[in-house]
Every structure is written in structure tokens, then in C-alpha cells.
Chain A
Amino acid sequence: SQQGEEDPQALSIQEGENATMNCSYKTSINNLQWYRQNSGRGLVHLILIRSNEREKHSGRLRVTLDTSKKSSSLLITASRAADTASYFCATDGSGYSTLTFGKGTMLLVSP
């Protein structure tokens, strides 16, 4: 069953602007990950944040995690047209288990 719910469902911005996507989940998690999917392609792992972490950075990506609110956000700074893709959060429970993906945010970055 789907656990993550991203919002917004779609986001359209101009190059150079920042893009923020949010993810909410329902049950306790071990890790939360963000993946990117270009149209018609597989998913690519972007960043993982553990349940005991609150913020993590990777290049132009910044992820926050609030376990009390069961939510996470992905910020892409100084967006580029090449960032156009769908972005999914994925959670897993305690121990090794399957990932549960959210519905995704479709990001369109216009030149």
C-alpha cells in the first residue's frame, strides 16, 4: 500500500528558482529516500535520510525530515531545465523491508 503522499502533484517553475516538494507518511520508518524518474525511465536514487537525522544536503539538494509530523521535504536550489522529472519519496519500516513509494511530484522547469 502507498504510504508516502507528495505535494504538490505538479510544480512548474522557471530556471534558477528553487523547487520544494513535500512528502508525508503514515507509519514509523527506518529511512526515507527520494528518487527521481525521467519520463519513461527507471528511478534514480537521489538521497537517503535516516530516521534519526533532521537534515541532509547533497549538491543542490536539501532534504529535511520531521518524524514527529511524519513528513519530509526535498528542496532543489537553482533549478535547471534538466531537473524536469518526477520525484518520489520512498519509505521503509524497521529492518530490511520493501520500499513504499509516494504518488510523486511532477516538476517542470522552464528555460
Chain B
Amino acid sequence: GAVVSQHPSRVICKSGTSVKIECRSLDFQATTMFWYRQFPKQSLMLMATSNEGSKATYEQGVEKDKFLINHASLTLSTLTVTSAHPEDSSFYICSSGRDLAKNIQYFGAGTRLSVL
């Protein structure tokens, strides 16, 4: 199956710093990538849809200035959590699909963010 690589897998940072998370499609071109947030023992909440070469589409209630998304190439999307605070601590997961007709998503391994 298609491979999506997400890095880093875990990050601990101080409050007020910015954290960048990378999501790469390793064996296919991804014009669209998705960023999710997941709280413990809960489902995935879609944060935004990242579109290569254009602005991301954010879900209602997600601050676009807080969660900056850049999709500068067909294989890389980045999510930057700006001025992170403890309430931003969560598990962030990216995904992308190769087959638009089937809409099967391939997920990164996730990033555990802990803001102190």
C-alpha cells in the first residue's frame, strides 16, 4: 500500500514555541492531504484539508493563524502549531489518498505533541 511518512513522532516543547510537523507521501503524488487531531480515546477530528499550491481549507472552529498549513510540493505538507499552549497538546495525524475514486486514506503514524 501507499506510504505516508509523518515526522516527528513525538515532540515536547515549552509554551509559546512553534512546532512544525511534516507529512510526506513516499510513493505517490498527493495533491490533497488531510490533517486530523485526536484526543485520548476519541475519534479523529478533521482540522483542515491541505491543497498543493493553494490555501488550505480549514474546518469550522479551527484557527488558521494558529495551525498554519503549507503544501508546497506534491509530496509534502506541513502543519505548524504556532505559539503552542498546553491546550494544544494532542495527537496530530495526517493522511492522503492515492485513488480518488475509492477515497481510501493512507495515514501517517501520528505526532504526539506535549506542550509544557
A contacts, CB < 8 Å to B: 2, 30-31, 33, 35, 40-45, 48, 88, 90, 92, 96-104, 106
Contact = CB atoms under 8 A, between A and B. Distances in A.
Contacts of A98: 34, 46, 49
Interface in B7-51: 34, 41-44, 46, 49
Contacts, number: 56
Nearest to B32: A96
A43 B36 CA distance: 11
Interface string B88-116: 00010101000010111111111010000
Nearest to B109: A42
A80 B82 CA distance: 42
Give the 5 A-B residue pairs with the shortest CB-CB distance, closest first.
Answer: A42-B107, A43-B107, A101-B44, A42-B109, A103-B43
Given A48-B104, A99-B105, A43 B41 contact: no
Interface residues of B, number: 24
A88 B44 contact: yes
A45 B95 CA distance: 11
B110 A31 contact: no
B103 A43 contact: no
9 contacts: A2-B43, A31-B102, A35-B105, A41-B109, A41-B110, A42-B6, A45-B106, A100-B46, A103-B42
A44 B103 contact: no
Given A40-B112, A42-B108, A42-B109, A99 B6 contact: no
A45 B46 contact: no
Contacts of B95: 42-43
A40 B109 CA distance: 8
Contacts of A45: 1, 104-106
Contacts of A103: 42-43
Contacts of A104: 42-43
B46 A44 contact: no
Nearest to A33: B104
Contact of B103 (A41, A88, A99): A99
